[in-house]
Amino acid sequence: MDFLLDAFGDDLVVHLLVARQTGSWDFLHRHVETARALGLELDLGTEQACRGSAEVFYDRCAFRASTLLVQRARHELVAQGKRLLVLLSYPGEVVADACAGKARPDEEFVRGLDDLGIDYVDSLSAHRGDYAAFSITPEEYRARYYNGHYTPSGNHLFAFMVKPTFVGWLQPTPPAYAAKSSPLAVRGEALA
Protein backbone atom coordinates (compact mmCIF):
# COMPACT_ATOMS: atom_id res chain seq x y z
CA MET A 1 0.00 0.00 0.00
CA ASP A 2 2.86 2.40 0.76
CA PHE A 3 4.19 1.87 -2.75
CA LEU A 4 0.84 2.81 -4.27
CA LEU A 5 0.59 5.95 -2.18
CA ASP A 6 4.18 6.93 -2.96
CA ALA A 7 3.81 6.24 -6.68
CA PHE A 8 0.30 7.60 -7.27
CA GLY A 9 -0.62 9.71 -4.24
CA ASP A 10 -0.14 12.98 -6.13
CA ASP A 11 -1.12 11.75 -9.58
CA LEU A 12 -3.79 14.00 -11.09
CA VAL A 13 -5.14 11.23 -13.31
CA VAL A 14 -5.60 8.89 -10.34
CA HIS A 15 -7.30 11.66 -8.37
CA LEU A 16 -9.65 12.36 -11.26
CA LEU A 17 -10.50 8.68 -11.76
CA VAL A 18 -11.16 8.18 -8.03
CA ALA A 19 -13.28 11.33 -7.86
CA ARG A 20 -15.38 10.17 -10.80
CA GLN A 21 -16.11 6.97 -8.91
CA THR A 22 -16.59 8.42 -5.42
CA GLY A 23 -17.91 11.93 -6.05
CA SER A 24 -15.20 13.31 -3.73
CA TRP A 25 -13.50 16.26 -5.43
CA ASP A 26 -11.45 17.41 -2.42
CA PHE A 27 -8.18 16.99 -4.34
CA LEU A 28 -9.06 20.10 -6.38
CA HIS A 29 -8.37 22.36 -3.38
CA ARG A 30 -4.66 21.49 -3.69
CA HIS A 31 -4.63 22.62 -7.35
CA VAL A 32 -6.20 26.09 -7.14
CA GLU A 33 -2.88 27.89 -7.71
CA THR A 34 -1.86 25.58 -10.56
CA ALA A 35 -5.23 26.17 -12.20
CA ARG A 36 -4.77 29.94 -11.89
CA ALA A 37 -1.33 29.66 -13.47
CA LEU A 38 -3.06 27.92 -16.39
CA GLY A 39 -5.70 30.67 -16.63
CA LEU A 40 -8.50 28.78 -14.87
CA GLU A 41 -10.63 29.56 -11.86
CA LEU A 42 -11.90 26.34 -10.31
CA ASP A 43 -15.55 26.39 -9.23
CA LEU A 44 -15.63 24.32 -6.04
CA GLY A 45 -19.18 25.21 -5.01
CA THR A 46 -21.22 22.11 -5.85
CA GLU A 47 -20.38 18.53 -6.79
CA GLN A 48 -21.46 19.22 -10.37
CA ALA A 49 -19.33 22.39 -10.50
CA CYS A 50 -16.36 20.46 -9.09
CA ARG A 51 -16.80 17.72 -11.68
CA GLY A 52 -16.83 20.27 -14.50
CA SER A 53 -13.84 22.14 -13.05
CA ALA A 54 -11.88 18.91 -12.67
CA GLU A 55 -12.50 17.88 -16.28
CA VAL A 56 -11.51 21.31 -17.63
CA PHE A 57 -8.45 21.41 -15.35
CA TYR A 58 -7.33 17.96 -16.43
CA ASP A 59 -7.71 18.85 -20.12
CA ARG A 60 -5.83 22.12 -19.64
CA CYS A 61 -2.98 20.31 -17.87
CA ALA A 62 -2.86 17.56 -20.51
CA PHE A 63 -2.84 19.96 -23.46
CA ARG A 64 -0.26 22.24 -21.85
CA ALA A 65 2.00 19.28 -21.05
CA SER A 66 1.57 17.93 -24.59
CA THR A 67 2.46 21.32 -26.07
CA LEU A 68 5.62 21.50 -23.95
CA LEU A 69 6.63 17.95 -24.90
CA VAL A 70 6.15 18.67 -28.60
CA GLN A 71 8.11 21.91 -28.26
CA ARG A 72 10.99 20.05 -26.57
CA ALA A 73 10.92 17.26 -29.15
CA ARG A 74 11.09 19.80 -31.97
CA HIS A 75 14.01 21.56 -30.28
CA GLU A 76 15.92 18.27 -30.00
CA LEU A 77 15.15 17.34 -33.61
CA VAL A 78 16.20 20.75 -34.95
CA ALA A 79 19.50 20.37 -33.08
CA GLN A 80 20.00 17.12 -35.04
CA GLY A 81 19.02 18.70 -38.37
CA LYS A 82 15.65 16.95 -38.45
CA ARG A 83 12.05 18.11 -38.69
CA LEU A 84 8.93 17.33 -36.69
CA LEU A 85 5.48 16.68 -38.09
CA VAL A 86 2.61 16.11 -35.66
CA LEU A 87 -0.22 13.91 -36.95
CA LEU A 88 -3.49 14.70 -35.20
CA SER A 89 -5.70 11.62 -35.28
CA TYR A 90 -9.03 11.24 -33.51
CA PRO A 91 -11.42 8.53 -32.33
CA GLY A 92 -14.61 8.03 -34.31
CA GLU A 93 -16.78 9.68 -31.65
CA VAL A 94 -14.80 12.92 -31.86
CA VAL A 95 -14.97 12.85 -35.67
CA ALA A 96 -18.74 12.30 -35.59
CA ASP A 97 -19.13 15.17 -33.10
CA ALA A 98 -17.04 17.46 -35.31
CA CYS A 99 -19.09 16.49 -38.37
CA ALA A 100 -22.22 17.33 -36.35
CA GLY A 101 -20.83 20.84 -35.79
CA LYS A 102 -19.57 20.47 -32.22
CA ALA A 103 -16.45 22.31 -31.10
CA ARG A 104 -13.17 20.45 -31.30
CA PRO A 105 -11.96 19.27 -27.88
CA ASP A 106 -8.29 20.09 -28.55
CA GLU A 107 -8.59 23.68 -29.73
CA GLU A 108 -6.08 24.80 -27.09
CA PHE A 109 -3.49 22.25 -28.25
CA VAL A 110 -3.94 23.18 -31.93
CA ARG A 111 -3.54 26.87 -31.05
CA GLY A 112 -0.36 25.93 -29.20
CA LEU A 113 1.01 24.18 -32.28
CA ASP A 114 0.14 27.22 -34.39
CA ASP A 115 1.78 29.59 -31.89
CA LEU A 116 4.95 27.50 -31.91
CA GLY A 117 4.97 27.21 -35.71
CA ILE A 118 5.00 23.43 -35.54
CA ASP A 119 3.90 21.58 -38.66
CA TYR A 120 0.91 19.30 -38.19
CA VAL A 121 -1.71 17.42 -40.18
CA ASP A 122 -5.19 18.15 -38.83
CA SER A 123 -7.27 15.10 -39.69
CA LEU A 124 -10.29 16.50 -37.80
CA SER A 125 -10.56 19.43 -40.22
CA ALA A 126 -9.94 17.05 -43.11
CA HIS A 127 -12.73 14.76 -41.89
CA ARG A 128 -15.07 17.73 -41.66
CA GLY A 129 -14.24 18.64 -45.24
CA ASP A 130 -14.65 15.06 -46.44
CA TYR A 131 -17.96 14.69 -44.58
CA ALA A 132 -19.35 17.73 -46.41
CA ALA A 133 -19.24 15.70 -49.65
CA PHE A 134 -21.73 13.16 -48.25
CA SER A 135 -25.46 13.20 -47.57
CA ILE A 136 -25.30 10.96 -44.50
CA THR A 137 -25.43 11.42 -40.74
CA PRO A 138 -22.25 11.93 -38.74
CA GLU A 139 -22.73 8.45 -37.27
CA GLU A 140 -23.00 6.91 -40.76
CA TYR A 141 -19.85 8.80 -41.76
CA ARG A 142 -18.03 7.46 -38.70
CA ALA A 143 -19.11 3.90 -39.57
CA ARG A 144 -17.48 4.27 -43.03
CA TYR A 145 -14.02 4.71 -41.49
CA TYR A 146 -14.08 3.35 -37.92
CA ASN A 147 -14.77 0.06 -36.15
CA GLY A 148 -13.27 1.04 -32.81
CA HIS A 149 -10.24 2.31 -34.74
CA TYR A 150 -9.63 3.12 -38.38
CA THR A 151 -10.79 0.48 -40.85
CA PRO A 152 -8.71 -0.11 -44.00
CA SER A 153 -10.76 2.65 -45.66
CA GLY A 154 -10.02 4.94 -42.72
CA ASN A 155 -6.29 4.18 -42.95
CA HIS A 156 -6.41 4.95 -46.68
CA LEU A 157 -8.17 8.26 -46.07
CA PHE A 158 -5.70 9.20 -43.33
CA ALA A 159 -2.76 8.40 -45.59
CA PHE A 160 -4.14 10.79 -48.20
CA MET A 161 -4.59 13.45 -45.52
CA VAL A 162 -0.90 13.16 -44.63
CA LYS A 163 0.50 12.76 -48.17
CA PRO A 164 0.56 16.44 -49.26
CA THR A 165 2.68 17.46 -46.28
CA PHE A 166 5.16 14.61 -46.74
CA VAL A 167 5.44 15.20 -50.47
CA GLY A 168 6.06 18.89 -49.80
CA TRP A 169 9.00 17.98 -47.57
CA LEU A 170 10.72 15.71 -50.09
CA GLN A 171 13.60 17.26 -52.02
CA PRO A 172 13.68 16.61 -54.84
CA THR A 173 9.99 15.98 -55.27
CA PRO A 174 9.42 12.42 -56.52
CA PRO A 175 8.49 12.37 -60.23
CA ALA A 176 4.99 11.11 -59.49
CA TYR A 177 4.29 14.30 -57.54
CA ALA A 178 6.40 16.85 -59.41
CA ALA A 179 4.79 20.08 -60.53
CA LYS A 180 4.30 20.61 -64.27
CA SER A 181 7.18 23.09 -64.30
CA SER A 182 9.53 20.72 -62.49
CA PRO A 183 12.50 19.27 -64.37
CA LEU A 184 11.27 15.94 -63.02
CA ALA A 185 7.96 16.20 -64.85
CA VAL A 186 7.46 13.84 -67.75
CA ARG A 187 6.81 15.72 -71.04
CA GLY A 188 5.88 18.82 -69.02
CA GLU A 189 3.17 17.05 -67.05
CA ALA A 190 3.30 15.91 -63.45
CA LEU A 191 2.42 12.30 -62.88
CA ALA A 192 -0.57 12.08 -60.54
Q: Enter the pTM of the model.
A: 0.77
Residue 145 burial (CB count, 10 A): 20
Are 111 and 153 a contacting pair, CB within 8 Å?
no
In order along its 192 residues, the chain shows pLDDT tens digits of 888 888 888 888 999 999 999 999 999 999 999 999 999 999 999 999 999 999 999 999 999 999 999 999 999 999 999 999 999 999 999 999 999 999 999 999 999 999 999 999 999 999 999 999 999 999 999 999 999 999 999 999 999 999 989 888 888 888 888 766 555 444 444 444
Residue 148 φ then ψ, to 5°: 100, -25
Reduced to 3 states, what is the DSSP secondary structure of residue 85? strand
Reduced to 3 states, what is the DSSP secondary structure of residue 84? coil
Are 141 and 94 a contacting pair, CB within 8 Å?
no
